Amino acid sequence: MKQRIFVSSVLLLALAALPAVVFAAGTDNVALKCPYVSSDPNVSGWDQPGLTDGDPSANPKNCWASGVTAMFPKFVTVDLGKDREVQTVAVSVPQFGSTKTVEVSLSTDNATFTPFAKKEFQQSKAERAVLTGPKTPARYVRLTYPDRYETQVQFSPNYVFTSELEVYECPATELTAKAAVTPAVKDSFRHQQFLNRIKAGPVGLLFLGDSITDFWGRTGELTWLKFAPYSPANFGISGDRTQHVLWRINNGELNGISPKATVIMIGTNNVRDDAPETTAEGVKAIVETVRQKLPQTKILLLGIFPRDAAASEARKKNAAVNGIISKLDDGKSVFYLDIGSAFLDDKGEISSEIMPDKLHPSAKGYELWYNALMPKLTEFLK
């Protein structure tokens, strides 16, 4: 029986409307918006284009799922439209479901498939695996699911879920080198919440960042409430890197607002994979985008907070990034402020009372942040 291929014309139009991004040759995701066929079609709508829609968000609306039959292995085959020289495949899975092993194989004729790479994922953990192999001609990419976890996490273990498939004609190292400055969607659900916040009313003070910013309204609620007179908006998302903030601010999060001040602190999630110079380029791209889209706002660019032990590699890399981005201060519209020392003891270490995990501030840590921030911020909010 011939299987149907589901592609949403509405989604394709939405993706086509996104701002153009200039890539080096080979760094385009050639699987983007490509159709696919599943060996076990899902009858509840999860067949639809979540596998190649360009959005790896780990929520059911943006995921692909197989059907619920108990027969394994299952597979899904993506048609790239023409022969490609595949070198890198990225597979993302959500934190729910029972996906275990994913085998990637390639074919030029949709009949004979050559193994390319294999990954065993942890259950209950959203993860993106970047898999590399020898340069291989292929038009068809198949993901095979030979097994599953037996434990049910939110949905029947007979479903296998995948958030996104990406295919590249370049080595993974080339992708990493450009990742920090290449806008990438990560969490469309939170993005929509921020767009709704814009519709709800004026934004006089804007915060852009990652989990350190994101958690302020919860962990540091009492100090966050002190910003209330300035109509604040917290656009921080846990796990975000520079590329994710870049995507968000190029897709509506700066539209229709006129904040007097914008506080930016981003980059600590980049340091695991990116060189300090690369992370700094991502921060610079964010600052330049905010300047372009909000020419009247004063940008308060914060140095990335210290993390981990004083002698740790992450601490050193964050300090190196700060040394570069401090030069973005022009004394007119961009002002750099490093308040990292407020979190350190006399030996340069971070007390668990300030940052229990040596990364995210406690309520007391957020109070220190507020007190260090306000003297400069007050100048912009008059």
Positions marked active-site: 211, 357, 360
Angle at 308 between CA 302 and CA 312, to 5 degrees: 105
Collapsed DSSP state (helix, strand, coil) of residue 326: helix
Contact of 78 with 165, CB cutoff 8 Å: yes
Q: Which residues of 166-187 are buried (b: 16+ CB within 10 A; e: fewer)?
A: bbbbbeeebbebbbbbbbbbbb
DSSP 220-286: THHHHGGGGGG-EEEEE-TT--HHHHHHHHTTTTTTT---SEEEEE--TTTTTTS-HHHHHHHHHHH
Q: Which residue has the tokens 């602190």?
A: 265
Nearest CA-CA partner of 340 in 314, 133, 115, 12: 314
d(Cα 307, Cα 357) in Å, to the nearest integer? 9
d(Cα 257, Cα 141) in Å, to the nearest integer? 43
- Amino acid 343 reads F
Nearest CA-CA partner of 96 in 52, 160, 42: 160
Q: Which residue has the tokens 């909010």?
A: 381
Q: Which residue has the tokens 């706002």?
A: 297
d(Cα 188, Cα 47) in Å, to the nearest integer? 19
Contact of 264 with 290, CB cutoff 8 Å: yes
d(Cα 248, Cα 178) in Å, to the nearest integer? 17
Quick one: tokens of 198?
Answer: 């814009």
Collapsed DSSP state (helix, strand, coil) of residue 93: strand
